[in-house]
């Protein structure tokens, strides 16, 4: 019995029952008779709240009566339209009603996961929460459009000067001259994928290059590298809990649909004979 009480689907169905009973209470017996329209207290309150949101003031008694009259008018037309079957062949109406049911289901918050459940989810999906490698480096940029045929020779001479401890002024650029503890994503965003891939294998021992990017050539001094690794639960807890709750909500929605689907027999008309056959 204790295991059933801890089951998320059990919580889902209890919430569904509570929501159904609450809806029935708010409607005050709205559907008790097809020819009777009951304007519940909840319905009037909802109309007043809509008015206040739109006009930034509470409605007068006359305006409340007008709101109720309009709601009754819409309800009568709605019921007559349903009785005439006007809702059956309208894809917009079908979609809207289906969406409302889905919103109700999605609004049923699954039970908060335990520490053990969060850890199990993280262990099952470590790649989703992996921490990227980080790089700290500075670079000297050489512009091909300015250097022309001297580009390679200038790069070689600049590299020799840098390794000798001398200062080298590169060409002007909008690129950052250095990055500290930058994620691979940030390096790729600034310098491009080829550059980011190249510095992954650079040793942390002085100046290296030239390294190509979509902008030109770079001489790079990698000062620190933090390898990528899997995150622990402390680091990834918020994302893990969000994803686990989302997965549970999807599972509960699918389970609820399957329960409803079991009550229906679906038949598809044959294009050749005009008859019908059961759908899987």
| 168-192 tens-digit pLDDT | 889 998 999 899 989 988 999 999 9
- From 73, 108, 143, the end of a domain falls on 108
Parent domain of 186:
132-226
Answer yes or no: do 114 and 195 share one domain. Answer: no
Answer yes or no: do 172 and 217 share one domain. Answer: yes
pLDDT of residue 57: 92
Pick the more confident residue, 151 or 259. Answer: 151
Answer yes or no: do 219 and 140 share one domain. Answer: yes
Answer yes or no: do 65 and 55 share one domain. Answer: yes
Contact 218, 195 (CB under 8 A): yes
Answer yes or no: do 158 and 120 share one domain. Answer: no
- 240-245: long-range contacts at Cβ-Cβ below 8 A with a sequence spacing of 24 or more? 240/118, 240/121, 240/122, 240/129, 241/113, 241/118, 243/121, 243/125, 243/128, 244/113, 244/117, 244/118, 244/121, 245/109, 245/110, 245/113
Q: How many domains does the chain have?
A: 3
Token digits of residue 182: 């930058």
Residues 13-71 have pLDDT tens digits of 555 555 555 555 444 444 445 678 888 888 889 899 999 999 999 999 999 999 988 88
Distance separating alpha carbons of residues 76 and 186, to the nearest angstrom: 60
Answer yes or no: do 73 and 204 share one domain. Answer: no
Residues 201-253 have pLDDT tens digits of 888 889 998 999 989 999 999 999 888 899 999 999 999 999 998 888 888 88
Answer yes or no: do 10 and 75 share one domain. Answer: yes
Cis ω for the linkage preceding 210 (within 30 of 0): yes
- From 210, 226, 242, the end of a domain falls on 226
Mean of the per-residue pLDDT values for the chain?
81
Answer yes or no: do 114 and 253 share one domain. Answer: yes
Answer yes or no: do 86 and 195 share one domain. Answer: no
Answer yes or no: do 60 and 186 share one domain. Answer: no
Tokens 């009566």 label which residue?
Answer: 65
């Amino acid at each position: 019995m204790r295991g059933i009480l801890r089951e998320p689907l059990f919580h889902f169905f209890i919430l569904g029952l509570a929501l159904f009973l609450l809806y029935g209470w708010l409607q005050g017996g709205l559907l008790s008779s097809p020819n009777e329209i009951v304007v519940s207290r909840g319905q009037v309150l909802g109309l007043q709240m809509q008015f206040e949101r739109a006009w930034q003031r509470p409605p007068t008694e006359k305006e409340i009566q007008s709101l109720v009259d309009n709601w009754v008018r819409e309800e009568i037309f709605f019921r007559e339209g349903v009785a005439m079957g006007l809702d059956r062949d309208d894809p917009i109406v079908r979609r809207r009603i289906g969406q409302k049911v889905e919103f109700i289901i999605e609004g049923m918050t699954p039970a908060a996961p335990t520490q053990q459940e969060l850890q199990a989810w993280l262990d099952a999906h470590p790649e989703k929460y992996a921490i990227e490698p980080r790089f700290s480096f500075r670079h000297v940029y050489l512009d091909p459009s300015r250097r022309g045929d001297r580009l390679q020779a200038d790069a070689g001479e600049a590299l020799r000067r840098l390794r000798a401890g001398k200062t080298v002024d590169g060409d002007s650029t909008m690129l950052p001259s250095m990055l500290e503890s930058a994620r691979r994503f940030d390096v790729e965003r600034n310098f491009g994928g080829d550059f980011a891939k190249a510095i992954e294998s650079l040793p942390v021992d002085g100046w290296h290059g030239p390294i190509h990017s979509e902008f030109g050539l770079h001489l790079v001094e990698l000062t620190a590298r933090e390898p990528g690794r899997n995150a622990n639960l402390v680091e990834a807890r918020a994302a893990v809990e969000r994803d686990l709750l989302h997965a549970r909500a999807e599972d509960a929605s699918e389970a609820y649909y399957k329960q409803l689907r079991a009550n229906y027999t679906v038949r598809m008309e044959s294009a050749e004979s005009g008859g019908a056959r059961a759908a899987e």
